[in-house]
Each structure stands twice: as structure tokens, then as C-alpha cells.
Amino acid sequence: MENSMRVLVVGSGGREHALCWKIAQSPRVEKIYCAPGNAGIEDVAECVNIGAMEFEKLSVFAREKAIDLTVVGMDDPLVGGIVDVFEEKGLRVFGPRKNAAVLEGSKAFSKDLMKKYGIPTAAYENFDDSQAALDYLETVRFPVVLKADGLALGKGVLICNTLKEARDGVYSIMEDKQFGAAGNRMVVEEFLTGREVSVLTFVDGKTVKCMTSAQDHKRALDGDQGLNTGGMGTFSPSPFYTEEIDAYCKAHIYQPTVDAMAAEGREFKGIIFFGLMLTGEGPKVLEYNARFGDPETQVVLPRMENDIVEVFEACIDGTLDKVELTFADNAAVCVVLASGGYPVSYEKGFPIEGLENFRDKEGRYVFHAGTAKDKEGRIVTNGGRVLGVTATGESLKAARANAYEASGWVRFEKMFSRSDIGKAIDEA
Ligand code: AMP
Ligand code: GLY
């Protein structure tokens, strides 16, 4: 098998760039394709102009190119059943089937699963009728959290401080369909306070193995102000995620979730990303994702010492119990460089300067999230989140200083970033 595998990665963001970069380090891999990819991914993979939701075309491509393994980065194709399509055609693929990806695809499903199996999470009620939701709001304490049931680009969560805000929220989710069909059902949930932690895990249907912890900064502006975004930066590990908390989560959250899915006839193989809140009453699940986090992946994979392809294979083959995951005893910080105006409206097409500064720099990475090549072959901005600059260091403080130094190596018009990524760690 040495140096002979052909791998296809599905997706086009910073997460997929980090995945392709990590896969490229496997001694078993000969060639990587990425569909549709971006201008940065081209450094490590051949980009193919097929959309992530074009399952038929992707599977035909995989067959034509004799792809040995397909890795799906994004939530939409997983929830839409890409893994089932590939498996039906006898193609090897890493990720949950449609009946398991529902763990992310339906928040009402995941809440009911947690309730049934005693997995700690915020108290809640599900609704498929707006009048019933409005009536229920008369009985709750504020703030309260409203969640559209389905996928909504990470934007389907509303934290409402007053009854009026919550009523407006129900209208916009269920009546005006602000998040489309994702709002046909809705969860109304207790507001939790505490530190948030992201824990990505590999799962083979029975066994679950944790990657190192991370934390995301979702708000657009310093001090956690401004609108929610896909994520403005991350750091790893989280100093708040202690060994004691890890042991608790393994016993009460991670393994019980995997076992619950198996018991429901929805065997989960792939990544479960546990979004946790460390509350005064212990860790509780805020959300499940059925994929790697973005930009958590950009700080977790640079610290991972395993050959990731071997871990993917172990998940597919059900032999994850034989794998020991190891992470470097260091830290990493990722600062997202975004387009001015993100997450509302922003321009595209500005040339990006300074990317060459990252060439051959140990422990400094520029993962492309939204970039493209223009007609002259220049790399230009092509999205809200443009680049994720990651640096490692001996400590979180050192990694943070390195990441901010390296983010000064690149520039484009109207670039903005947060200046406090990982700052909370000063308090730890
Ligand atoms: P989600 O898409 O479920 O991760 O929610 C997005 C963000 O909303 C989370 O990262 C939290 O910051 C916040 N959030 C979600 N659920 C709750 C909750 N029950 N209490 C407080 N904050 C929440
Ligand atoms: N960074 C949060 C997510 O990937 O959902």
C-alpha cells in the first residue's frame, strides 16, 4: 500500500485545506483530489470543478480516477446522504451515512436522543407548530435559546433576552422561514452559561477516540461582540478542558452518544464534533456536528502526530480500538482573516499579497478558506472568511504571539480580523 493511495476530499474551505495538507503527509498517499477545492488547496491537491452536492458526478469521478478513499469535510453532503451513494457504488468513503448524520442534521432528533439516553444537555421542548411554541414561551425564563431544527450555515440559533425577542424569533424561524426548511421544526432550549469547548472525535461505530480540545470564537468582533460568524479563530488545547472533565465526558457523553446511535440502528462512523458548555453543573452538550469543525481543524490537525489516513481507515474498518491517537505537547492558534463587512455583505476579488512568506516556515500555516485564482493567475479573495493563519508554539501564549505575527505577513484590501483570539487563555 505504500505510496499508492488516491484520495478525494469533498469541500472547499479552510477545514478542507487543513485536511488535504494533513492527508498529504501520509506516506501511503500518492495523489489527492479536492472537489471543488480553492486556490490554496491547489498547493497540495488537484482541484476538480464538481460541487459538493453533486453526488452522482462525484461518484463517477471517484470511479474513473480509481479513488481508494473519499473524505467528506462538509455537513451538507453528509446530511444529504453522500456516503450512502458512494457505498451503494462500492466506493470507500469516510463519514456517517444519512441515517447517522441526522445527529447534526436535526437538532430535535439530537435533543430527543440525549433525553432518551440520559446524556447531559440543556432542558428543551421541540415544536413543529408556531402557536404551540409561542404558548410555551409564556412559561419559560429568559434568556431563552431558539434553534431551527435543520442545517442553517451555523446561523440558526437565536439567543433571546425578552419575550418579545423570542416571539419575533419564532415568527422569523417558523413563519418567515428565515432559515428555509430548517425552520419547519424548532427547539426551544434553556440558556446555559460557562466556557465553551469543542472536542472532535473519531468514531468507528463502537469505539470513540478524542482529538485534542479546541475553542472557537464565533462572534465577528473583539470581546465577543458583533454578529455570529462561521468562526473568527480558534485555539487548542482549551486550558479549561481538564483531565477530570475529559474523564467525565468520556463516561457520560462521548461513549453514551456512540452507543445510543448504535442502539437506534444508526451506527455512526466518522467524526462526531461535540460542542460542549462547561457549566456549574458539569459539562453539557450544546450541539453535535457530524464532521470536523471549521476552524477547529486548523488548530487540531497541526498538533496531531498520527497518519490521519490510517485513522480514517480504522474508522471505516471498525478497528479504531487498535489506534492510539497522539498529539504534540504544544499549542496552536488560528486567526481568521476576513473580508470587511463579513458576515453580512462584502466584496470579493481583491489580490492577496504575501502568501509566499509561509513557504517552508516550520509551524506557520496559511489555510485558505475563501480564495480563487483570477484570469491573470493571481490569488484573490473569494469569500467572507478568506484565510486562517495558524501557528504552533510551546504554550498558548507563544502560539498566539506567533499566529498574530504571521497574520501580518499577508494582506488584502478591506482585511479584518479579531485581535483577541485565544485571549481568554490569559485568565486560565
Ligand atoms: P450551535 O449552532 O448549536 O453551536 O449554537 C451556536 C452558538 O450558540 C453556540 O456556540 C453557543 O455559543 C450558543 N448556544 C447554543 N445553545 C446554547 C444554550 N443552550 N445556551 C447558551 N448558549 C447557547
Ligand atoms: N466552528 C464551528 C463549526 O465548525 O461548526
Judge if the beta carbon of residue 195 lies within 6 A of ligand 1: no
- Please report, as a single letter, which amino acid is at residue 195: R
Architecture (CATH level 2) of domain 123-190: 2-Layer Sandwich (3.30)
Q: Which ligand 1 atom sits nearest the alpha carbon of residue 122?
A: 19
Protein residue with least CA distance to atom 4, ligand 1: 287
Q: What pLDDT score was predicted for residue 240?
A: 95
| 8 A C-beta contact, residue 267 and residue 261 | yes
Q: Which residues line ligand 2 (CB under 6 A)?
A: 154, 216, 231, 289, 293-294, 296
Start-end of CATH 3.40.50.20 domains in the chain: 5-97
Q: What pLDDT score was predicted for residue 262?
A: 98
Neighbours of 319 (CB within 10 A): 13
Q: What is the CA radius of gyration of the chain?
A: 21
Judge if the beta carbon of residue 218 lies within 6 A of ligand 1: yes
**105 Cα–ligand 2 center, Å:** 14
| 8 A C-beta contact, residue 304 and residue 327 | yes
Protein residue with least CA distance to atom 19, ligand 1: 191
Q: What pLDDT score was predicted for residue 428?
A: 56
Best of 157, 197, 200, 289 to mutate for ligand 1, by most ligand atoms within 8 A of CB? 157
Query: Which ligand has the minimum distance to the alpha carbon of residue 159?
Result: 1
Start-end of CATH 3.90.600.10 domains in the chain: 332-427
| 8 A C-beta contact, residue 269 and residue 95 | yes
Q: What is the full DSSP assignment across 13-54?
A: SHHHHHHHHHHHT-TTEEEEEEEE--TTGGGTSEE----TT-
| 8 A C-beta contact, residue 371 and residue 387 | yes
**300 Cα–ligand 2 center, Å:** 13
Protein residue with least CA distance to atom 3, ligand 2: 293
Judge if the beta carbon of residue 143 lies within 6 A of ligand 1: no
Q: What pLDDT score was predicted for residue 426?
A: 62
| Cell reading at 200 | 472532535
What is the Cα–Cα distance from 173 to 380, expressed in whole angstroms?
35
Distance, C-alpha 314 to centroid of its chain: 21
Q: Which CATH superfamily is domain 332-427 in?
A: Phosphoribosylglycinamide synthetase, C-terminal domain (3.90.600.10)
What is the Cα–Cα distance from 417 to 138, expressed in whole angstroms?
40
What is the Cα–Cα distance from 263 to 172, expressed in whole angstroms?
36
**296 Cα–ligand 2 center, Å:** 7
What is the Cα–Cα distance from 158 to 147, expressed in whole angstroms?
6
| Cell reading at 256 | 453514551
Judge if the beta carbon of residue 189 lies within 6 A of ligand 1: yes
Query: Which ligand has the minimum distance to the alpha carbon of residue 279?
Result: 1
Start-end of CATH 3.30.1490.20 domains in the chain: 123-190
Best of 198, 235, 385 to mutate for ligand 2, by most ligand atoms within 8 A of CB? 198
- DSSP secondary structure letter of residue 392: E
Q: Which ligand 1 atom sits nearest the alpha carbon of residue 286?
A: 16
Judge if the beta carbon of residue 296 lies within 6 A of ligand 1: no
Measuring CA to CA, which residue among 403, 402, 407, 415 is closest to residue 347?
415
**145 Cα–ligand 2 center, Å:** 18
Q: What pLDDT score was predicted for residue 231?
A: 93
What is the Cα–Cα distance from 236 to 201, expressed in whole angstroms?
14
What is the Cα–Cα distance from 155 to 228, expressed in whole angstroms?
7
The β-bridge partners of 279 are 282
Protein residue with least CA distance to atom 1, ligand 1: 287
Query: Which ligand has the minimum distance to the alpha carbon of residue 231?
Result: 2
| Cell reading at 24 | 498529504
Q: What is the pLDDT along the chain (428 residues), one digit of tens a residue?
A: 567 999 999 999 999 999 999 999 999 999 999 999 999 999 999 999 999 999 999 999 999 999 999 999 999 999 999 999 999 999 999 999 999 999 999 999 999 999 999 999 999 999 999 999 999 999 999 999 999 999 988 788 999 999 999 999 999 999 999 999 999 999 999 999 999 999 999 999 999 999 999 999 999 999 999 988 989 999 999 999 999 999 999 999 999 999 999 999 999 999 999 999 999 999 999 999 999 999 999 999 999 999 999 999 999 999 999 999 999 999 999 999 999 999 999 999 999 999 999 999 999 999 999 999 999 999 999 999 999 999 999 999 999 999 999 999 999 999 999 999 998 766 55
Start-end of CATH 3.30.470.20 domains in the chain: 195-322
Long-range pairs, 127-132, Cβ under 8 A, ≥24: 127/174, 127/185, 127/186, 127/187, 127/188, 128/184, 128/185, 128/186, 130/170, 130/171, 130/174, 130/175
**216 Cα–ligand 2 center, Å:** 7
**328 Cα–ligand 2 center, Å:** 23
Best of 104, 294, 301, 421 to mutate for ligand 2, by most ligand atoms within 8 A of CB? 294
Protein residue with least CA distance to atom 5, ligand 1: 157
pTM (whole model) above 0.95: yes
Question: Which CATH number does 5-97 carry?
Answer: 3.40.50.20
Q: Which CATH class is domain 195-322?
A: alpha beta
Judge if the beta carbon of residue 204 lies within 6 A of ligand 1: no
Judge if the beta carbon of residue 154 lies within 6 A of ligand 1: yes
What is the Cα–Cα distance from 109 to 351, expressed in whole angstroms?
44
Give the three-class secondary structure for 302: helix
> What residues contact 164, with CB distance under 8 A and at least 6 apart?
none
What is the Cα–Cα distance from 397 to 331, expressed in whole angstroms?
9
Give the three-class secondary structure for 93: strand
Protein residue with least CA distance to atom 4, ligand 2: 293
Protein residue with least CA distance to atom 5, ligand 2: 293
Query: Which ligand has the minimum distance to the alpha carbon of residue 215?
Result: 2
What is the Cα–Cα distance from 122 to 198, expressed in whole angstroms?
16
